[in-house]
Structure 1
């Protein structure tokens, strides 16, 4: 048992240390996700070791101190997403918010067939705007009739590669674009939302690739940071929303916030884990909404399951441009901007490689296709 505890203690300590390496390698970046889980498991190992074998000699004490420091390292990341920490996005103080709206974000999971359950949830929640990630044409056809009637305005790009995107709105849209920022088959949306009183703001919706086996994160970092720079430069206050395939406490998300100057309503409130809805213990906050200080929070809610591996999430904000200075937004220094520039360049280069590979693979498949 002692040897097993030492081995597992070493492994989880390594899990805590490896993310310090600034690398897009998937097996490093995926360790940004389970910070809380690593802290919990390592705490259990530490306590079990001390209760079973005591503090031991000098070597063992050093080992236990290292384990303890690894636990502290993990906790310092997730601490900010607990109610103990100071909130970042302030709530509105208006009793009757005049410019309030609700955005619902849902990764529907392309292979999920519970279309009717999702439609019922959306119509029950009745958001002003709806962002759907992962819809293919089957999903589009199943919800199109009801949602087109409910939401007069929309942007649509259903795809069968799990990166399709649909957006519906009760409010007018201007200058809408479907953008392919890094990879030719992974879209993002940009539009200008006009509120009923004529006030406008920018909305960016994103769904970059996640870190997974043999797939590194260069393109994810590039897409998020490109959107961050675009949001910072627009003429209107901005909101960025969608499935970012990254956790709220990662170095990439922190850099995104600094470059964009946006707030995260989760800070000081909770994790609001949205993935994996099918696995109760292993859940992470992957679906996000970031916004400029000109907005104030009314509510943030994780909604009920509907068959996807993601929980949907709904946020209600109020547009209060006169109170923007009262919220402290993250700021980027020269080092942050240089890091973002380098990551964007690396991601664009990797995106070009992947685009070329996909084209070549497509051509090869076409050549192998039998003639009729």
Structure 2
């Protein structure tokens, strides 16, 4: 029993510290995800060891101290996504918000056949903007009639590689583009949204590759940071949304916020886990909405599942540029810009390599 606890303790301690390595290796970056799980497991191991052995040697005290440091290392990341932390994105104080919009983001899962369940949910929520990740032609055919009638504006890129995307909007869209920022076959959208008041904002929707077996994360980092730089350069407010395939507390997401200057409404409110809808014990916040401080939060909810491995998430924002100075904006230091540039260059090179490999296979 003692040996088992020691092995487990050091194994999960290693998992806790692995993400300090600034490398894109999938087996390192995937350790950004289960920080809460690692903290809980290590706490159980420390408690079990403490109850089993009343007296400790100096080496055992050092070992326990190391495990506790590993626990605290995990807690310092996830703490900011609990109600104990200070809220980052402020709520609107207007009793009758006059410049608001609602946006729903859903990874529908390409192989999910419960099209009508999703359609029923979307029609019930009737958001002003609806973003769908992973739709193929079958998904398009199942929702096209209903959505085309209700949403006069849309952007569509249907793919059978799980990276298709559709965007439907009741609000006017202009200058819409389907972009392939890093890899062929992995699109992102850009459009200018016009609110009913005539005010406009830039909307970016993304769905980069996740870390998985033998798939490192250079292209994910590059795509997110390229969008962050675009956001920073624009003269109008921006919103970035989609399945980022990254958790809210990772170094990459933090760097994205620092470069872009966008807010995360989950800070100080909760995880709002959207994946995996099938496995309650292993859920992470992968579907995100970041926005300019010119917006104030009216509502943020995770919706019920509909057959996908993701829960949808829905957010309502009000445009209040007169009060944006009241919100604390993430700021990038010179070394953050340097790190972002390096990650973008590495990701673009990896993307070109992947594109060549795909062409050779074809």
TM-score (norm 1): 0.97
1:192 equivalent to 2:192? Answer yes
RMSD over aligned Cα atoms? 0.5
**Is there any run of 5+ residues in structure 2 with no aligned partner, and where?**
none
Structure 2 partner of 1:135? 135
SS at 1:50 equivalent: helix
**Does the aligned pair in 2 maintain the 1:131–1:166 contact within 8 Å?**
yes
Deviation at 1:23, TM superposition (A): 0.4
Deviation at 1:45, TM superposition (A): 0.5
- Find the aligned partners of 1:134 and 1:2 in 2 and give their Cα distance: 47
- Superposed CA offset, 1:224-275 (max 9, x none): 0000000111121000000000000000000000000000000000000000
1:71 equivalent to 2:107? Answer no
- Find the aligned partners of 2:319 and 2:240 in 1 and give their Cα distance: 15
**Does the aligned pair in 2 maintain the 1:241–1:289 contact within 8 Å?**
yes
- Superposed CA offset, 1:112-159 (max 9, x none): 000000000000001000000001111011100100011110000010
**Is there any run of 5+ residues in structure 1 with no aligned partner, and where?**
363-372
Structure 1 partner of 2:250? 250
- Find the aligned partners of 1:214 and 1:311 in 2 and give their Cα distance: 26
**Count of matched residue positions in the alignment of Structure 1 and Structure 2:** 362
- Find the aligned partners of 2:11 and 2:169 in 1 and give their Cα distance: 47
- Find the aligned partners of 1:72 and 1:54 in 2 and give their Cα distance: 23
TM-score (norm 2): 0.99
Structure 2 partner of 1:291? 291
Structure 1 partner of 2:240? 240
- Superposed CA offset, 1:72-105 (max 9, x none): 0000000000001000000001110010110000
SS at 1:56 equivalent: coil
- Find the aligned partners of 1:260 and 1:335 in 2 and give their Cα distance: 15
Structure 1 partner of 2:216? 216
SS at 1:204 equivalent: strand
SS at 2:66 equivalent: helix
**What pairs with 1:76-155 in structure 2 (closer than 5 Å)?**
76-155=76-155
- Superposed CA offset, 1:168-225 (max 9, x none): 0000001000000000100000000001111100000000000000000000000000
C-alpha change, 1:149 and 1:68, in structure 2 (3 Å) is same
**Does the aligned pair in 2 maintain the 1:203–1:238 contact within 8 Å?**
yes
Structure 2 partner of 1:10? 10
Deviation at 1:55, TM superposition (A): 4.3
Runs of 4+ in 1 over 3 A off after TM superposition: none
SS at 2:85 equivalent: coil
**Does the aligned pair in 2 maintain the 1:55–1:61 contact within 8 Å?**
no
